[in-house]
Amino acid sequence: MESILLSKYAVSSFTQAFLGLLITAYLLVSANKNCSAWRLIAFFAAITISMMSSFLLMAVQAPWRVWFGPLQGLVGFFGFIAITQFAYTFPGGEASTRSRRALILSLVGLLGV
């Protein structure tokens, strides 16, 4: 019995996960990390984990693979929260009152979802 099935969907997810991993590593070693840089790194890390979950969901042929579906969605939401925070802080290096309010609102929205 095959335990891993590399369909075109799985390969596509793996490509995106690998690219996300490269970008995250590049930002980690290259950037002088201020507040907005860390949020961007969190966004790309979330994308990497989300796409890796998508790859495992589609490629692994085991009963527990269904857990990667909710994990992909949850991590994706955290990525969107990180990019929203990045939008509020870039190019400055400090979190403002507006960004803190947006963080609370987006976390409440995440709990609602």
Partner 1 sequence: MAITFQSRRDLALQGMGLAFAVYSFWPMVVFAIQTRAYTNESLEVPVGMLDALQNPVGREARAHRAFALLMAVLFALSLQALAESLELVSLQQLISSLATFYILFLVSFVFVYVNNAPTFKLYGKTRRYSHRDLDDRDGEYGQFYSRDA
Residues near partner 1 (CB under 8 A): 8-9, 12, 15-16, 19-20, 23, 26-27, 30-32, 34, 36-37, 40, 44, 47, 73, 76-77, 80-81, 83-84, 86-88, 90-91, 93, 102, 106, 109, 113
DSSP state of 64: G
Q: Which is nearer to partner 1, 9 or 65 (CB)?
A: 9
Report, in Å, the least distance between residue 4 CB and partner 1.
Answer: 19
DSSP state of 93: S
Token duo for residue 92: 């400055």
Overall size of the chain counted in residues: 113
Q: Which is nearer to partner 1, 19 or 95 (CB)?
A: 19
With a CB cutoff of 8 Å and minimum separation 6, the contacts of 43 are 79, 82, 83, 86
Q: Which is nearer to partner 1, 1 or 68 (CB)?
A: 68
32 three-state secondary structure = coil
